[in-house]
């Protein structure tokens, strides 16, 4: 049953990155667009993302619940040492969601719409950046092992763990990744000039992914981080990353042919491969500590907890997944035809 819980944890992270990433990415694209193109992206967002954006946070809730119940030691470390970026993340999600609603459904159309636009755009770029910072903190090697907490000051425990060059570079990488996911999705949903606009955005986002990804590895090399050493030890890791890059070829061919479904599938495969490399290389440690190590499966909760959690997840998925599929299908987001 522990395997089932871990599988749901991986899938929840994957789906939040894909669906939530497409959601956040629309705002990132709007943030980095000209005034004229901001309006184009804004209209596209309400037409395509608007009907389903609230459902995307289901996956984040699943991740939090699984960590809280199934892996309480890891949950405690993360929410304690990273409580500052986590608080910023929640503020970003709230600000973005509030602005998304008010700028569209506010009965009075006045200058306040511009204010909501700004909040939405800045929060959309800020929130995935903070998600990346949190991921970077977990992998940076700056986190403090629970046995080494005593004697550390506030800055070391609650600031240095995430406010470092590696985490900031990872934040930029994740923000670029969400823009890429969204632009690929929107390019398969749009027609004529809008389609070419999002294709151009996807190409630029791809370039930024390569640049920010390189910055992450450069920082790891310069600072001798264990993150790079783990990757360097496995040749197949580089093989998978190269293969993920080669997927750009069939994906762009599909986009140019006007295929609606396959480019998304290729893009999703890229994300899966990136996550698989992370999981296989790091697991079961998950967090890279400055000193010491702690496996995700160490100090496990009683088997009865995994049993109950696994059953609850299976039962919940039987109700939630069909509903989500129907929601996406209703608004044409999972139609597999061209």
Q: What is the pLDDT of residue 82?
A: 97
pLDDT bin (cut points 50, 70, 90) of residue 336 is very low
Question: Does position 51 have pLDDT exceeding 70, yes or no?
Answer: no
Q: Is the pLDDT of residue 83 over 80?
A: yes
User: Which residues have CB under 8 Å from 78's CB, separation 6+?
Assistant: 67, 86, 134, 138, 287
Mean pLDDT across 138-159: 92
Q: How many CB atoms lie within 10 A of CB 280?
A: 12
Position with higher pLDDT, 14 vs 167: 167
Share of the chain above pLDDT 70, in %: 90
Task: Flag whether pLDDT at 251 surpasses 50.
Answer: yes
Please identify which residue in the block is written with the tokens 């977990």: 138
42 vs 143, residue with greater confidence: 143
Q: How far apart are CA 179 and CA 169, in angstroms?
A: 16
As a whole number, the mean pLDDT across the chain is: 84
Q: Which residues of 106-121 are buried (b: 16+ CB within 10 A; e: fewer)?
A: eeeeeeeeeebbebbb
What's the mean pLDDT in 138-143?
92
pLDDT at 313: 93
pLDDT category of residue 37 using cuts at 50, 70 and 90 = confident
Please report how many Cα atoms fall inside a 13 Å half-sphere around the Cα of residue 175, on the Cβ side.
Answer: 27
Which of 235-244, 255-264, 290-299, 321-330 shows the lowest per-residue confidence on average (mean pLDDT)?
A: 321-330
User: How many C-beta neighbours within 10 Å does residue 42 have?
Assistant: 19
Residue 45 DSSP symbol: I
Give pLDDT tens digits for 120-129.
Answer: 889 999 999 9
Question: In terms of pLDDT, which residue wins out, 219 or 21?
Answer: 219
| pLDDT score, position 78 | 94
Residue 337's pLDDT band (cuts 50, 70, 90): very low
- pLDDT greater than 70 at residue 110: no
Number of separate helices (H) and strands (E) present in the chain: 15, 0
- H helix or E strand, kind and range, residue 127: helix 112-140
Determine contact, residues 136/162, Cβ cutoff 8 Å.
yes
- What is the average pLDDT across 193-208? 85
In 3D space, the residue among 216, 214, 215, 189 whose CA is nearest the CA of residue 202 turns out to be: 189
Report DSSP state, residue 291: S
Under 8 Å between Cβ of 331 and 92: no
């Amino acid at each position: 049953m522990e395997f089932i819980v871990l599988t749901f944890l991986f899938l929840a992270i994957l789906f939040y990155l894909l669906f939530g990433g497409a959601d956040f990415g629309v705002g990132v694209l709007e943030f980095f667009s000209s005034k004229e193109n901001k309006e184009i992206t804004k209209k596209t967002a309400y037409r395509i993302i608007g009907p389903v954006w609230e459902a995307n946070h289901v996956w984040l809730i699943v991740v939090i619940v699984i960590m809280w119940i199934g892996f309480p030691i890891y949950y405690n470390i993360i929410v304690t040492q990273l409580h500052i970026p986590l608080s910023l993340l929640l503020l970003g999600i709230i600000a973005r969601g509030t602005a998304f609603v008010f700028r569209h459904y506010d009965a009075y159309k006045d200058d306040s719409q511009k204010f909501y636009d700004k909040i939405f755009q800045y929060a959309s770029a800020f929130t995935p950046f903070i998600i990346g910072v949190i991921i970077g903190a977990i992998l940076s090697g700056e986190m403090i092992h629970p046995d080494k907490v005593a004697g550390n000051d506030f800055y070391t425990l609650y600031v240095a763990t995430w406010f470092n060059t590696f985490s900031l570079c990872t934040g930029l990488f994740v923000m670029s990744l969400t823009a890429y996911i969204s632009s690929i999705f929107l390019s398969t949903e749009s027609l004529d000039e809008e389609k070419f606009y999002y294709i151009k955005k996807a190409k630029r986002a791809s370039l930024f992914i390569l640049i920010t990804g390189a910055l992450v590895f450069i920082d790891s090399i310069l600072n001798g981080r264990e993150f790079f050493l783990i990757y360097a030890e496995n040749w197949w890791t580089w093989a998978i990353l190269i293969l993920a890059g080669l997927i750009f070829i069939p994906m762009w061919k599909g986009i140019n042919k006007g295929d609606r479904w396959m480019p998304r599938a290729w893009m999703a495969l890229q994300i899966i491969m990136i996550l698989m490399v992370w999981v296989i290389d790091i697991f079961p440690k998950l967090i890279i500590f400055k000193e010491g190590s702690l496996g995700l499966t160490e100090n496990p909760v009683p088997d009865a907890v995994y049993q109950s959690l696994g059953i609850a997840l299976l039962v919940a998925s039987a109700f939630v997944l069909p509903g989500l599929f129907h929601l996406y299908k209703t608004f044409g987001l999972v139609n597999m035809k061209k």
